[in-house]
Amino acid sequence: MTRQTPQPVASARPRRTPLSVRNRLDIKNKKPGYVYRIVNDVEDRVARLQEQGYEIVSAEDAGMIGDKRVDNISAPGSSSYVSVGQGVKAVAMAIKDEWYREDQAQKQQQVDDSEQTMKTTLNGGDYVPKT
């Protein structure tokens, strides 16, 4: 009789993810052309962002949010909620990329305008700090 070598059995243990790679609140299934964020569902924040063009991402579209440790998504309705601690739930939201860039440009313009008030021009058009 010949001796049979046992075949290796795949381990049921999940693969380890290095600590430096983990991102607990990352959305796995992102559609191109959209910018995603996780929004705490407090003080009508979700409703305000919806008025600004954000959409609540459905649980099916978002897929798993976060790493293996934060996979306890509950789905009230069809949206993807995740617990973020202290009894607070957060929801995945997305906005069209072009709208996001417009919003960021407007915010940057406000910063530029504010910084402009701190500068004065010389005859050559160079900016120097006000003294």
Q: What residues does each domain of the chain span?
A: 23-118
Tens digit of each residue's pLDDT (9 = 90 or more) over 75-108: 444 457 777 778 888 888 999 999 999 999 999 9
- Its pTM stands at 0.62
Confidence at 1, pLDDT banded by 50, 70, 90? low
Whether 90 contacts 82, CB under 8 Å? yes
- What amino acid is encoded at 2 in this protein? T
Q: What share of the chain is helix, strand, coil (3-state, %, to 5)?
A: 25, 25, 50
The secondary structure of 73-107 as a DSSP string is -B-STTB-EEEEETTEEEEEEEEEHHHHHHHHHHH
Tens digit of each residue's pLDDT (9 = 90 or more) over 40-82: 988 899 999 999 999 998 877 776 666 554 444 444 444 577 7
